[in-house]
Amino acid sequence: MVRECIHRLRRAGEPITIFQTASGYVHLDDVKDPAMKASIVKAHRERTRSYMGDHAALMRQIGRMTAAEVAMQGLFDMLIPDEASTRDTRPSTMADVARLPVQYRKNVTNLLVQLLDGIATDPEAFRYEQAILADKFGGVFLTKEKAAKLAAARKALEDVGV
């Protein structure tokens, strides 16, 4: 019962984790020492990473899922609100996510934007990724320079009456 209650509270946004000494649960708002709070959060992240690695290995073994499929399921669980679906209709592919109303897939879109923002800081990586996206999606992703050239070409055609 305690674990189920803690699970519900965590899903509602309460920062509850296991205390480092495994002596029970702790609400992070109750920890006043910033160094202790950071240490508790670090231990939680390490425990979570270990759990996720074990879970991914098990899903690959018994579920015959690829690492990417396991990762996507985890992302869906973290990024898509529970009210977006029932247990039976939970998205299991990106195509399922694409069919959700915008308000339920906005966190997935924000993740994509953050990835592209990160890639954009490395011009060489950005050109490489942009080429992959352009091959797949055509002109959907234009650079500012290409957009400016297209606008100039359109204006030149309009100026000559075409």
Model confidence at 146, in pLDDT bands (50, 70, 90)? Answer: confident
The pLDDT tens digits for 4-15 are 898 889 888 899
18 forms beta bridges with 25
Q: What is the largest CA-CA distance in the chain?
A: 79
Q: What is the arithmetic mean of pLDDT over 128-135?
A: 82
pLDDT in tens, 67-89: 888 888 888 888 888 787 776 77
Residue pair 56/50 in contact (Cβ under 8 Å)? The answer is no
| Cβ-Cβ contacts under 8 Å for 74 (sequence gap 6 or more) | 52, 55, 56
- Distance, CA of 28 to CA of 16 (rounded, Å): 6
**Residues 25 and 16: beta-carbon distance below 8 Å:** yes
Cβ–Cβ < 8 Å for 129, 119: yes
* pLDDT band for position 119 (cuts 50, 70, 90): confident
Q: Give the rounded percent of residues in the chain with a pLDDT score beyond 70.
A: 96
Mean pLDDT (whole number) for 132-157: 82
Does residue 131 have a pLDDT over 70?
Answer: yes
Contacts of residue 142, Cβ cutoff 8 Å, sequence gap at least 6: 150
Q: How far apart are the first and last CA of the chain?
A: 72
- Report the pLDDT value the prediction gives residue 61, as an integer from 0 to 100: 85
Could you give the angle at which helices 67-79 and 102-120 cross, rounded to 10 degrees?
120
Helix H or strand E encompassing 94:
helix 94-98
Tokens matching residue 33 = 């020492």
